Structure 1
Amino acid sequence: MTEQGAPEPWQWDEPTWRGHVDRVRAGQRLVPESWPGGARVAVALSFDSDHETIPLRDGETRPGKLAQGEYGSRVAAPKILALLAEYGVPASFFMPAVSALLHPDEVESYVAGGHELAVHGWIHERNMLLSRNDELDLTGRAIETLERLSGVRPVGIRTPSWDFSDHTLEIIAQLGLRYDSSLMADDDPYELLADGRRTGIVELPVEWIRDDAPYLMMERYGGLRPYTPPRRLFEIWRDEFDAAHREGGLFQLTLHPHIIGHRSRLVVLRDLLTHISAHSDVWFATHAEIAALAAAQLEETRP
């Protein structure tokens, strides 16, 4: 028994551990026989525009870390937008509301470039440390802020740090969001189930393998150091794309402007776009577009 008298996990009865597992679960996989235009693979590029919010979330207000976040907006985001325009590729930008308020011109540039703006919390908060009411309040305010600044109401969310609390799915549904991109139960889109019940909410799964942060992050006073040469990421992500292409599935990638947006690292994104664009049967789409296609499949299977 724990100090509070609650059973240890090894003491749980079957309804208890099954209840935890079933709270949020993967339902029907949502991959069409072919993607729009007869494409064999869908490609969904995304950028988490965290900028200054991560140090601010942690109460770090000194200029050093804030400057690193500022680089993401001041230098990296314009370069990323130029690269996407060069290849004619739409992307989804998941942006904390505080980032959007700090950089409203950046929000406008996303919309002007034909990209999607989606929810990424208020100040990159940790949902699993919040009460339900606080999580609902912050998510709701984030939606309203992005809508006001962009003129378009967001339809999707990626929770900050991919935290997913016991209340997150219920809050997503309550606020009318159509998809989430925070969980990892598949390579391809699927419907989220809540305690075994269909929700109609589409999951576009992420994975640490397909994220620049685990490979390239740096913490000056901690043990976190970049351990992968940037060009190695091209090989990893190329192999992920090639497998998705063979299987006829989804290749989803999560990047951060303040991480991938440096000179020696943007080379990797350019090489990857060149490799993918060499295939004639690719559908580049925003997360919202893929979620809409998946939702249409759900409607066809409803009783």
Structure 2
Amino acid sequence: MEKQMEPWEWPDAHWQKLVDRVRAGRSLRPTHWPDGKRCAVALSFDSDHESNELRDGGKSIGRLSWGQYGNRVAVPRIRKLLHRHGVRASFYVPAVIAKMYPDEQRQLVADGHEIGIHGWIHELNSVLPAANERDLMMRAADVLEQVTGIRPVGLRTPSWDFSDATLAIEKEMGLLYDSSLMADEDCYELLLEGRPSGVIEVPVEWIRDDAVYFMMNRFQSLRPYTAPADVMNIFAREFDGAYEDGGLFQLTMHPHIIAYRSRIWILEEIIRMAQAKGDVWFATHAEVAQWVKSHGAEA
């Protein structure tokens, strides 16, 4: 049997092929935002709810109840806050959760928010055969359309787990954008094996995600905790930098993490900070992607 090569033994063509499968292409930072706004703010929520436990085959009543908090308390609290400030956002919803809580999704759409694809049951794409990933993604899109009456145009892969097949499937589905990758702070077009895919990336980053600071699992070593004031400081500095650059401030949150009484103020303070500037455009991820597709320019 031929010995499997170690990474340091790979020929150049091998690592180059791995790197080139999905890459950042042309920058799509626009020369201007709508109505002369200086900066865009795209708030997002991954409504994982019970799917975090279900996707691993888990049966923990405690963790399932944590997921139910997302629907029972968190999303209503977030909806009220966003309505109070007149801000719309994007919610990424696994199909199983959309089927479990259809009224939640319909209410969000009625409020003017976007519902995006977030897998079937929050599965990890990188461990799935490509055919299974394709089937689940397409069925997930169908479920969201059936529940909300609107066909989703964007995908956020569960856990930002982007496989070799993901972009090709997104392209086949005709999706406008993805929001799972981290090659820039502003939007860009994704390249598939060196060729423009037509899919726009609205980039994420762990530093702009509430889960890395607050997520906890008592049966594992995952027990990070950062004081809410410190998280607010990080998010605020990220916003200040985006505003100074005239770029995009994208933020990822999870209802069952951010909506507790001691944390929800972070979201409200970010909104107040941005609104106080007077020239910030709050938009869904789909609206940002559509704008940069029409108005983006080479960096």
Alignment TM-score, normalising by the size of structure 2: 0.97
- The aligned counterpart of 1:205 is 203
Deviations 1:16-57 (A, max 9, x none): 111111110001111111100101100000000000001000
The residue aligned with 1:192 is 190
Aligned residues, how many?
298
User: Secondary structure of the equivalent of 2:262?
Assistant: helix
Q: Indicate if the aligned counterparts of 2:95 and 2:140 stay in contact, CA closer than 8 A.
A: yes
Query: Which residue among 256, 268, 274 is the counterpart of 2:254?
Result: 256
Q: Give the match for residue 37 of structure 2.
A: 39
1:297: how far off? 3.8
- 1:10 maps to amino acid: W
Secondary structure at the aligned position of 1:278 is classed as helix
1:220 alignment counterpart: 218
Which of 70, 83, 87 in structure 2 is aligned with 1:85? 83
Report Cα offsets for 1:45-97 as digits up to 9, x if no partner: 00000000010001112321100000001100000010001111110000000
Call closer, same or farther: CA 1:34–1:220 in 2, change over 3 Å. Answer: same
Residue equivalent to 1:76: 74
CA contact (8 A) 1:47 1:92 kept: yes
Q: Distance in 2 between matches of 1:25 and 1:7?
A: 24
Instruction: Output one character per residue of 1:236-269: Cα deviation in whole Å (capped at 9) or x when no partner.
Output: 0000000000001000000000000111110111
Q: Hey, what does 1:150 align to over in structure 2?
A: 148
Counterpart of 1:253 in structure 2: which amino acid?
Answer: L
Measure, in 2, the Cα distance between the counterparts of 1:172 and 1:155. 10
* 1:74-153 correspondence runs (5 A): 74-153=72-151
SS in structure 2 opposite 1:27? strand
- Which residue of the partner structure matches residue 7 of structure 1? 5
**Aligned residues of 1:53 and 1:98 also touching (Cα < 8 A):** yes
C-alpha distance in 1 between matches for 2:268 and 2:217: 26
Determine the structure 1 residue equivalent to 2:160. Answer: 162
Could you tell me how far 1:125 is from its partner in structure 2? 0.1
Of residues 264, 269, 272 in structure 2, which corresponds to 1:271? 269
Q: What displacement does 1:4 show? A: 6.3
Go from structure 1 to structure 2 and tell me whether the alpha carbon gap of 1:7 and 1:226 turns closer, same or farther (over 3 Å shift): closer
Instruction: Kindly provide the amino acid, as one letter, of the partner of residue 154 in structure 2.
Output: G
Q: Secondary structure at the match of 1:263?
A: coil
C-alpha contact 2:31 2:295 (8 A) present in aligned 1? no
TM-score (norm 1): 0.96
What are structure 1's unaligned runs of at least 5 residues?
none
User: What is the CA-CA distance between 1:6 and the residue it aligns to?
Assistant: 2.2
**Share of identical aligned residues, percent?**
55
Which residue is equivalent to 2:244? 246
**Is the CA contact 1:200–1:295 (under 8 Å) kept in the aligned structure 2?**
no
Between stretches 10-19 and 128-137, larger displacement belongs to 10-19
8 Å Cα contact 2:122/2:159 also seen in 1: yes
Query: Which amino acid counterpart does residue 43 of structure 1 have in structure 2?
Result: V
Deviation at 1:121, TM superposition (A): 0.2
Q: Name the CA distance, whole Å, in 1 between partners of 2:22 and 2:89.
A: 27
Matches for 1:26-65 after TM superposition, within 5 Å: 26-65=24-63
Following the alignment from structure 1 to structure 2, what is the Cα–Cα distance between the partners of residues 62 and 31?
A: 44
Structure 2 letter corresponding to 1:95: V
Q: Give the counterpart of 2:179 among 181, 184, 191.
A: 181
| Cα offsets for 1:198-257 (capped at 9, x unmatched) | 111100000000000000011112222232011211110000000000001000000000
Deviation at 1:141, TM superposition (A): 0.5
Q: Which amino acid aligns with 1:126?
A: L
Alpha-carbon separation, structure 2, partners of 1:69 and 1:216: 15
Cα separation, 2, equivalents of 1:4 and 1:58: 34
